[in-house]
Amino acid sequence: MSAPRKPETVSFTIKTKYIWLIIGVLLCLLALAPVIASYLPSTSSSSSSGSSAPPSSSVAPNCANPCTIVIQNSLFGTVQPIIVKAGTTVTWANKDDLDHTTTSNSGIWNSGILDPGQSFTETFSTPGTYPYHCLIHPMTGTIEVVS
């Protein structure tokens, strides 16, 4: 009867040893926390400020103001997307043999039918992404406006 009791006390002391070990590890982590905390924010803030600032300025416009997109071979120019600075005036010039339209996917602008030789102008003052299409053909394009 006394024999089965011993293993219980042994296992109890092992468990308490583990508890103290866990407490010790937790105390070590708590002691190191300020060191880790003081080390992390300096690196993360410098990298976050480094990554949050460039997006608007790192995306370089690929079309100057005023920007002309030549519609030819049933394509809205040869480059997609067109990236312009806010305030840029964009002109679509239909130099194709077919009628086309430049129509904002969200209804911001719609040129109506552009006969060959006709053009349409829209000024983009607010940064954002402006997808558009042709109402006649399966043609699409995107204007990226950066600050």
Exposure b/e, 124-135, CB count within 10 A at least 16 = b: beeeeebebbbe
Site string for Cu ion, 61-100 (x = CB under 5 A): ---------------------------------------x
Asked whether 51 and 44 are in contact (CB, 8 A), the reply is: no
Residues touching Cu ion, count (CB under 5 A): 5
Q: How far is CA 39 from the centre of its chain?
A: 28
Q: Which is nearer to Cu ion, 93 or 136 (CB)?
A: 136
Residue nearer to Cu ion on the CB measure, 18 or 115:
115
Binding mask 99-138 for Cu ion (x = CB under 5 A): -x---------------------------------x-xx-
Indicate the residue type of 85: K
Least distance (Å) from Cu ion to the CB of residue 103? Answer: 10
β-pairing, 119-124 vs 88-94, is: antiparallel
* Residue 108 or 135 with smaller CB distance to Cu ion: 135
**Measured between alpha carbons, how far is 107 from 68 in angstroms, rounded to an integer?**
21
Q: How far is the CB of 136 from Cu ion (least distance, A)?
A: 4
Report the nearest approach of Cu ion to the CB of residue 66 (Å): 22
Q: d(Cα 87, Cα 106) in Å, to the nearest integer? A: 19
List contacts with Cu ion (CB under 5 A).
100, 134, 136-137, 139
